[in-house]
Amino acid sequence: MEPLILRHGGSIGWIEVICGSMFSGKTEELIRRLRRAQIARQRVEVFKPRIDQRYSQTEVVSHDENALRSTPVDSPEQILLLAAPADVVGIDEAQFFDMTLVDVCQQLANDGKRVIVAGLDQDYMGRPFEPIPQLMAVAEYVTKLHAICAVCGAPANHSQRLTAEEGRVVLGAADRYEPRCRRCFQPPRPSPFSSKEGVPLASPYPDAQPAPPAAPDTPQSEK
Residues with a catalytic annotation lie at 93
CA-to-CA distance for 57 and 48, rounded, in angstroms?
9
Cis peptide bond upstream of 131, omega within 30:
yes
On the CB side of 190, how many CA atoms lie within 13 Å of its CA? 17
Radius of gyration of the CA atoms of the chain, in A: 22
